[in-house]
Structure 1
Amino acid sequence: MTVSRWLHSVAEGLASGVAQAGVLDANPVPRSWRHVTKLDPEPAKRLPLCYPAYLAHTDAVSVGGSTGVTPTTTEDTFRLLEFASPPAIHEPSAPTHVTDRTLSESAFLAVPEVLNGTSEALVGTLGEGIAALREDLIAARLDRHLPGWLSGRLTPHVAPLLSAHVLNRALFEAYIIQNPESAAAREAGVTAADVLSPTEARHRALAADAHLESEVVYVEYSGTYGGEAATEVIEAVAPELNWARLWYGGGLRTCEQVRAVRDAGADAVVVGDVFHEIAEAETDLYRRLEGAFDGEPTLDRIETWLDDAVAVADTAAAQYLSTTPVDAPVHRARTLLATSLLIRRTLDPVLAADASPARAARNLDAAIDDESLSRSFLSALAEGTQENGSGLPVTHLPVR
């Protein structure tokens, strides 16, 4: 083959590959995901009372955290998400956080790979997770469903195959952690010396995309907005990704910040801290509301009170919603904050054992007209306020 024919053949192959890439996108992470909400199962980080209504404006929910997280708190978070519409991703920080329930109720199991951390963060943690999946979770499942004599013989051979199947369905998130003061950095061994320049980030992202085949490259500032430094990294990384989605997370509170990150090339933004802060604001507002009315407040009266007592645009509710595609985020925040206060007021008699959960659920259903807050959700919420109730795990909600 002459050089000219060889060059022509290569050019045709490249053109064909580019054309196919434009049509066929095999990455299981939907390209349409533009906004992801991060939920931390840590007991201290609660969800807003009206969380299904807030989450109706996000594309997906990612469940994961590092401080005080247990299998129980993780499963409780997934129980809450039964009443929310977006698909859920489970991003465990320890192998024991993966359970039968989390596997069955999550759209994806996400495996973090820290590109600028220690080798333990990239390889050791993954190896530990695979071992736990194979030797604990899957082995226990086989023991439950097979006779003892058969389980002992089959488990050593079947468990590796089943664990490989689970991993084949998993997402791999290649993290570039840029805030060395964050909990994520401490977990991964990322120090100030490990913060990457745009060029270094580009090189790591190329490896993640072309060799590791990570479904997501995640530029993470963890609680702090990265500003110009973050957008420079995103601009360096975005053009190099053929397979992976590019996500940014860290300190997002305004539509302007979200626009800057997306304009730089991020496929999706991840918002977490400000979402949990809504629950704290609800508790504070409820304390301020007590004694503000004679008689029973209505939704309209509470909204009017909010207008007089609070700068709604400055609340965590409005800030979170401003990062989503929702129209009129301040107006929506005002309605949802008022709804949460009305729910809390209606549940107070149940907490005091002066009313039944069924009665509270009927009152809520009659007072609240929001399609994202279903009757089943309101009933489960009322039941959950009772000790040993069968409803929602209210330890994660600002009720008590």
Structure 2
Amino acid sequence: MSGEWYSGWRHVFKLDPEREISDADLDAICMSGTDAIIVGGSTGVTFDNTVDLMSRIRRYEVACALEVSTLEGAVPGFDGYFVPLVLNTNRSEWINGKQTEGLVEYGTFVPWEETAAQGYIILNAEATAAKITGAHTELSEQEVVAHVQMADRLMRLPIVYLEYSGKFGSMEYVRQARKSIQQATLFYGGGIDSAEKARDAAQYAHTVVVGNIVYSDLTAALATVAAVQETVVDSVSLAPD
């Protein structure tokens, strides 16, 4: 992995500004030992609800980053910023359109040293993000690898993000993605609702993102922290076939 500000993150919780979380549950999340919290969502993200969630997280020492999905939700004061680019869509506004619109408006204020692009490959057709962006989710293993190589080797994006949002994805796809990467950090998110699934993803992904389970089973969510951080990337599985 590179030496970027997020490169040491193994486990991350992702919290949606639009969804309610109690003070007690947020305290448990922030004190869990996770490496960081990412704030972001596909719908309903506003300046006010983003500021509110950030201010509550800021009571703790845990690193906190914003995934900038809307101009309305672009809030200063985070430790870092992620700008998603959806790679498996034909709609150019999700690759560079909305991003350049944002730079026209706020480019002079961007903290570039703490900002990183995420090359999203969305692989769950039922995910809200897939529907909004028109992502082509039915990809073969070879097509996933091609998207990873495009992001990692041609575009030189710092992060490749395999996103299943709402279901647990193919770990073989994650393994092949990891084998294909030369310089990027590999994020995986989707369907992590147990320590076992967290360990499976952590074998291949540099960073495992846990989101939805926070809101339905906090105990299971908290169990993923140690499961990920105690798992070492399997170097044997990454050897050429």
TM-score, normalised relative to structure 1: 0.53
| Partner Cα distance (1:132, 1:195) in 2 | 35
Q: Give the partner amino acid of 1:211.
A: L
1:390 equivalent in structure 2 = none
Count of residues in correspondence between the two structures: 225
Residue 187 of structure 1 deviates from its aligned partner by: 1.9
2:4 equivalent in structure 1 = 27
1:243 equivalent in structure 2 = 183
1:183 to 109, 118, 128: 128
| Partner Cα distance (2:22, 2:61) in 1 | 15
State the secondary structure of the residue aligned to 1:96.
coil
1:85 equivalent in structure 2 = 61
Taking a change above 3 Å as real, the CA distance of residues 66 and 45 of structure 1, as seen in their structure-2 partners, is farther
2:74 to 98, 107, 121: 98
C-alpha RMSD over aligned residues:
1.9
State the secondary structure of the residue aligned to 2:96.
helix
1:269 equivalent in structure 2 = 208
Q: Does 1:320 align with 2:214?
A: no
1:131 equivalent in structure 2 = 104
| Partner Cα distance (2:29, 2:41) in 1 | 20
2:84 equivalent in structure 1 = 112
Q: Does 1:59 align with 2:35?
A: yes
1:375 equivalent in structure 2 = none
| Partner Cα distance (1:41, 1:86) in 2 | 17
Unaligned residue ranges in structure 2 (runs of 5+): 228-241
Residue 26 of structure 1 deviates from its aligned partner by: 3.5
Q: Is the 8 A contact 2:30 2:57 kept in 1?
A: no
Residue 119 of structure 1 deviates from its aligned partner by: 1.9
Residue 168 of structure 1 deviates from its aligned partner by: 5.1
Which structure dedicates a bigger proportion of its chain to helix? 1
Taking a change above 3 Å as real, the CA distance of residues 200 and 48 of structure 1, as seen in their structure-2 partners, is farther
Residue 166 of structure 1 deviates from its aligned partner by: 3.0
Q: Is the 8 A contact 1:121 1:189 kept in 2?
A: no
Residue 47 of structure 1 deviates from its aligned partner by: 4.1
Q: 1:6-36: CA deviations, max 9, x gaps?
A: xxxxxxxxxxxxxxx8xxx443322x31110
Taking a change above 3 Å as real, the CA distance of residues 124 and 321 of structure 1, as seen in their structure-2 partners, is same
Q: Does 1:219 align with 2:219?
A: no
Larger radius of gyration: 1
Taking a change above 3 Å as real, the CA distance of residues 76 and 166 of structure 1, as seen in their structure-2 partners, is same
Which structure dedicates a bigger proportion of its chain to strand? 2
Q: Is the 8 A contact 2:171 2:201 kept in 1?
A: yes
Q: 1:43-68: CA deviations, max 9, x gaps?
A: x4324524223222211100011222
2:231 equivalent in structure 1 = none
Taking a change above 3 Å as real, the CA distance of residues 235 and 272 of structure 1, as seen in their structure-2 partners, is same
Q: Give the partner amino acid of 1:125.
A: K
Q: 1:336-355: CA deviations, max 9, x gaps?
A: xxxxxxxxxxxxxxxxxxxx
| Partner Cα distance (1:94, 1:47) in 2 | 25
Alignment of 1:302-313 (within 5 A): none
| Partner Cα distance (1:243, 1:107) in 2 | 23
Q: Give the partner amino acid of 2:225.
A: T
TM-score, normalised relative to structure 2: 0.86
1:174 equivalent in structure 2 = 119
Taking a change above 3 Å as real, the CA distance of residues 59 and 47 of structure 1, as seen in their structure-2 partners, is farther
Taking a change above 3 Å as real, the CA distance of residues 181 and 82 of structure 1, as seen in their structure-2 partners, is same
State the secondary structure of the residue aligned to 2:24.
coil
1:70 equivalent in structure 2 = 46
| Partner Cα distance (2:184, 2:5) in 1 | 10
Q: Is the 8 A contact 1:39 1:272 kept in 2?
A: yes
Residue 211 of structure 1 deviates from its aligned partner by: 2.6
1:207 equivalent in structure 2 = 150
Q: Is the 8 A contact 1:52 1:83 kept in 2?
A: no
| Partner Cα distance (2:12, 2:114) in 1 | 20
Unaligned residue ranges in structure 1 (runs of 5+): 1-20, 135-161, 278-315, 327-400
Q: Is the 8 A contact 2:45 2:72 kept in 1?
A: no
